[in-house]
Structure 1
């Protein structure tokens, strides 16, 4: 749930033009993006910015948000498309915990089970540098399993 005032997070006046809100979001997102500032504080700030902008990014959404805000209900539900899985005991959750993006809070092993394509992408992307060795290990086990399966059917 998003509990802070969206206009405060975006650092704009509540009556600001829609283009001003968009520009403020872009400037702040550029400043706090994980590629520019990898700190945990910046990651949290970026999540707040995304949630705030999601609440007011279109005229229709902004009208709903402003109505709720005027009634004193500042909590606007933010729907995330991916639920965080419970960390299982067999997961090596220590350094394999992803702390950004759509799989924030997931372990590499959990992402490997659910979305191996994302893991391949993360292994190539700069944000996955610190996970690269473990990602390669996980993907190699996939390749070995596929090779053994194909040799059984020859």
Structure 2
């Protein structure tokens, strides 16, 4: 299965935040959108970084509650792993495992077109396995 197929089912919406926004504002966006990460982008198309709940937790541990007033750019992850719509779900699962990331933005011609979480990858794989199981059961029952 390709990422483009996965995005067709889940949608192309991506929650973003400007790097100059406060960490407190980012926390509000994470809660509002019910997501675990925001793509940091000044224009909604380019990727400046990614901010996960994990980044915020580590930042709070390191810098204390004063971090909430600091800009997102202070705690975001600047090195972002991305994929394309043509990438395979299996390849993306490997990338997520190798780099220990849970959210990967999808980029097409340099523009942000979606985001895939580890949950999306697991769901896609479970759907594939269920389809294979059904095909095998159908085959066995017809023999």
TM over 0.5, shorter chain = no
TM-score of the aligned structures, taking structure 2 as reference length: 0.29
* Bigger share in helix: 1
Larger-gyration structure (1/2): 1
Higher relative CO (Cα under 8 Å, sequence separation at least 6) belongs to 2
TM-score of the aligned structures, taking structure 1 as reference length: 0.28
* Bigger share in strand: 2
